[in-house]
């Protein structure tokens, strides 16, 4: 050995990286049909023109898929992991009344050569969801970190940016006693609380059939349909909430201030989720999982009838009262 090392010898292959960019380019293009970046993909930063907005307010957030990713990868549900990553981020943007415009992903892997097929599938899944809500995959970083990321693992972080006209921004400070909470069904647990799910499945390895496992791993629902319908129906909600870690109580209490509500939610007809919940502390389940309600719109009483038509499956789950705190019971 001459003692002169190349970058490839250290486990990083930059030629492989360039081919990967061409693998994903057809997927990236799918996300740039109605909306387009105003500079080239692959520059140092992606640019998006907001000059058509009168008084733009940009909105942003970041999230990952947590430990759900490990089970998704074990089950080879790679595309679903991409959808989860998008939904966990885009739903947060939607709570502001904003349009999701741009999405970026950060993927940490041990070897691009080994992971190229899987991360192309991951990006394909992301782009399925992004295309459906008209949001651009504006950039990303796929970091090869041999020795830092365990082999076979893909670390994922997502970032999204949206924009809303200042006059149309949803303002939870306008909430009033008597406003009505409408809940919309989730497709399963969202991408949170999976350390607890994994613990149950370790303790009860034969609890679920393969089909039940797949239904439990359904990607987080994208609530773009609800928000788009609300806009078409000309209902301006008082607030939206995306129900993730912390469940209904924490995700509503974070913006309710001195108000609260005693919620009654429908029984969650999800056999796989119910099997898991049987092994979870009766109180903790409501503070960890969405319990079947993944999205809440809070509207004025006069808007309830219209809001129930926004997206499939909405139902009234409570009304706002004075006094802090959210309680949740399941309808008999």
Restricted to residues 117-146, the positions that interact with a second copy (CB under 8 A) are: 138-141, 143-146
Is residue 55 near a second copy by the rule CB under 8 A? yes
Query: Strands 180-185 and 293-299: what pairing?
Result: antiparallel
Burial 133-145 (b: 16+ CB within 10 A, else e): bbbbbbbbebebe
List the Cα angle 92/180/316 in 5-degree steps: 90
Which is closer to a second copy, CB of 228 or CB of 264?
228
Is residue 93 near a second copy by the rule CB under 8 A? yes
Give me Rg for the CA atoms of the chain: 21
- Restricting to residues 273-312, which ones interact with a second copy according to CB under 8 A? 279-282, 284, 287-288
Is residue 209 near a second copy by the rule CB under 8 A? no
Is residue 13 near a second copy by the rule CB under 8 A? no
Structure tokens at 208: 């679920």
What's the closest the beta carbon of residue 113 comes to a second copy, in angstroms? Answer: 14
Is residue 82 near a second copy by the rule CB under 8 A? no
Q: How many CB atoms lie within 10 A of CB 100?
A: 26
Q: How many CB atoms lie within 10 A of CB 52?
A: 7
* β-pair partners for 265: 330
Contacting residue, 16, 57, 213, 253, with a second copy by CB under 8 A:
57
Is residue 98 near a second copy by the rule CB under 8 A? yes
Which is closer to a second copy, CB of 301 or CB of 330?
330
Q: How far apart, in whole angstroms, are the C-alpha atoms of residue 112 and residue 299?
A: 48
Is residue 92 near a second copy by the rule CB under 8 A? yes
Is residue 10 near a second copy by the rule CB under 8 A? yes
Is residue 60 near a second copy by the rule CB under 8 A? yes
Structure tokens at 121: 């599938």
Site string for a second copy, 14-53 (x = CB under 8 A): x-----------------------xxx-xxxxxxxxxx-x
Is residue 5 near a second copy by the rule CB under 8 A? yes
What's the closest the beta carbon of residue 276 comes to a second copy, in angstroms? Answer: 10
Which is closer to a second copy, CB of 143 or CB of 306?
143
Residue carrying structure tokens 């041990």: 110
The closest alpha carbon to 140, from 129, 151, 155, 153, belongs to: 155
Q: How many CB atoms lie within 10 A of CB 71?
A: 17
Stretch that binds a second copy, among 21-29, 188-196, 295-303, 313-321 (CB under 8 A): 188-196
Q: How far apart, in whole angstroms, are the C-alpha atoms of residue 27 and residue 18?
A: 16
The closest alpha carbon to 320, from 260, 279, 245, belongs to: 260
Is residue 183 near a second copy by the rule CB under 8 A? no
Which is closer to a second copy, CB of 284 or CB of 305?
284
- Restricting to residues 143-182, which ones interact with a second copy according to CB under 8 A? 143-150, 153, 155, 157, 159, 161-164, 166, 169, 172
Contacting residue, 16, 32, 106, 313, with a second copy by CB under 8 A:
106
Contact 289, 277 (CB under 8 A): yes
Is residue 196 near a second copy by the rule CB under 8 A? yes
């Amino acid at each position: 050995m001459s003692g002169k090392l190349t970058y490839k010898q250290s486990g990083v292959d930059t030629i492989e990286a360039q081919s990967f960019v061409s693998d994903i380019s057809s997927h990236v293009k799918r996300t740039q049909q109605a909306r387009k970046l105003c500079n080239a993909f692959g520059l140092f930063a992606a640019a998006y023109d907001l000059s058509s907005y009168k008084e733009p307010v940009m909105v942003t957030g970041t999230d990952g898929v947590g430990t759900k990713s490990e089970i998704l990868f074990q089950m080879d549900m790679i595309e679903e992991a991409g959808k989860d990553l998008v939904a966990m981020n885009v739903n947060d943007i939607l709570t502001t009344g904003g349009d999701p415009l741009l999405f970026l992903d950060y993927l940490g892997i041990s070897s691009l050569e080994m992971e190229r097929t899987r991360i192309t599938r991951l990006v394909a899944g992301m782009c399925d969801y992004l295309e459906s809500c008209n949001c651009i995959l504006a950039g990303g970083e796929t970091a090869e970190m041999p020795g830092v990321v365990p082999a076979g693992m893909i670390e994922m972080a997502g970032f999204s940016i949206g924009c809303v006209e200042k006059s149309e921004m949803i303002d939870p400070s306008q909430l009033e006693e008597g406003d009505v909470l409408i809940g919309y069904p989730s497709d399963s647990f969202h991408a949170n609380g999976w350390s607890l799910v994994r613990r149950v499945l370790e303790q009860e390895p034969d609890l679920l059939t393969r089909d039940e496992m797949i239904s439990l791993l359904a990607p987080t629902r994208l609530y773009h349909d609800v928000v788009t319908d609300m806009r078409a129906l000309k209902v301006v909600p008082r607030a939206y909430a995306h129900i993730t870690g912390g469940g209904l109580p924490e995700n509503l209490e974070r913006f309710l201030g001195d108000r609260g509500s005693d919620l009654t939610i429908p029984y969650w007809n999800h056999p796989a989720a119910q099997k898991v919940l049987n092994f979870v502390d009766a109180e903790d389940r409501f503070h960890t999982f969405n319990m079947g309600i993944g999205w809440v719109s809070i509207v004025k009483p006069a808007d309830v009838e219209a809001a129930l038509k926004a997206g499939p499956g909405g139902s009234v789950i409570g009304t706002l009262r004075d006094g802090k705190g959210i309680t949740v019971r399941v309808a008999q």
